[in-house]
Structure formats: C-alpha cells, structure tokens
Homo-oligomer: A and B are copies of this chain.
Amino acid sequence: MIDASGCPLCAQEGGVPVLRTPLYRVIRAEEADFPAFYRVVWNEHVAEWTDLVPAHRSLLMQTVAKVETVLREALRPTKINLASLGNVVPHLHWHVIARFDWDSHFPQPVWGAPQRVVVPPAVSRLAVPLEVLDARIAAALAEAVSA
C-alpha cells in the first residue's frame, strides 16, 4: 500500500485529460493496444469504492455509465469492460475499456495473456478518432455537471 504522499494519481492527472470536476476527473489512458481506454478517477485519495458515501458512489457510477454509453454509441465495441482494482495504485479509479474481438487480448482481460498481434495499430481501426471520442465524452459529462 502507498499513501497519498507517494500516490501517482495524487501527483499527476494520470493520462490525457478529458474532463475535471471538483470531485472526479476523466482521463484517457494511453494504451496502444486498447486506445479506447478511459479512467474515471476520484480526486480525493481513497482506496475503496465503499469508502465513499452512497451519493458519491452513485455519482461515480453514473459517470462510468456515461463514458460507457458514449463508447458504445461511437465505437460499437464487442464488449465493454469495467473494473476498479487498485492493487498497485490504491487510489479509487474505474477503468472503462472498449474491447473488440480483434484486439490483442480478446477475450482475455487486458491484464491477461496476449492472444494475437494486431497490425495495423488498434487506434486506426476505431470508427472515430480519439480526439472526437474525448470531446463526445466531455460533452456528455459536462451536460450532467452543469445540470
């Protein structure tokens, strides 16, 4: 376990910034094999989802749902993978990953064994560019934040 003082998600954004609110932020992980890989990060350093009060748990999951919805509509992935693990970085964050039957690890989790080599790069196979995807996620979330 590491405490907040040595925590990479306290010290840094953790990826490409998509949206930041006072309570949470959404970033895009930069994983070449899984380009449509986002993280919803709780800004405060807490380890577990149930460390949050129920209203904040719900807010976090509604954010996860909005990211999932944009990914499904924009990319038509084979599957969405959601996870909150934090074994290495115990600062609460949810992984939201669009998976495709052609990706390097499918049907294994992204943390599992590779299944194939993907050529050309995965990002070139997505239906929309990552910048467009980021903007759509930010817009979907900004609507909720301003409501």
Q: A-side interface residues toward B, CB under 8 Å?
A: 1, 47-50, 54, 57-58, 61-62, 65, 68-69, 72, 78-88, 90, 99, 106-109, 111-112
Q: Is the CB of A49 within 8 A of B68?
A: yes
Minimum distance in angstroms from A3 CB to a CB of chain B: 14
Q: Is the CB of A84 within 8 A of B87?
A: no
Q: Which residues of B contact A69 (CB under 8 A)?
A: 50
Residue of B58, B68, B87 touching A99 (CB-CB under 8 A): B87
Minimum distance in angstroms from A56 CB to a CB of chain B: 12
Known A58-B58, A108-B111, A109-B111; contact A49-B82, beta-carbon cutoff 8 A: yes
Q: Which residues of B contact A112 (CB under 8 A)?
A: 111-112
Q: Is the CB of B68 within 8 A of A85?
A: no
Can you report 27 A-B residue pairs in the complex whose CB atoms are below 8 A from each other? Answer: A1-B78, A47-B79, A48-B68, A48-B79, A49-B65, A50-B68, A50-B69, A50-B72, A54-B65, A57-B61, A58-B61, A79-B85, A79-B90, A81-B84, A81-B85, A81-B86, A81-B87, A82-B83, A82-B84, A82-B85, A83-B83, A83-B109, A87-B109, A109-B111, A111-B111, A111-B112, A112-B112
Residue with the highest number of chain B CB atoms closer than 10 Å, among A78, A106, A107: A107
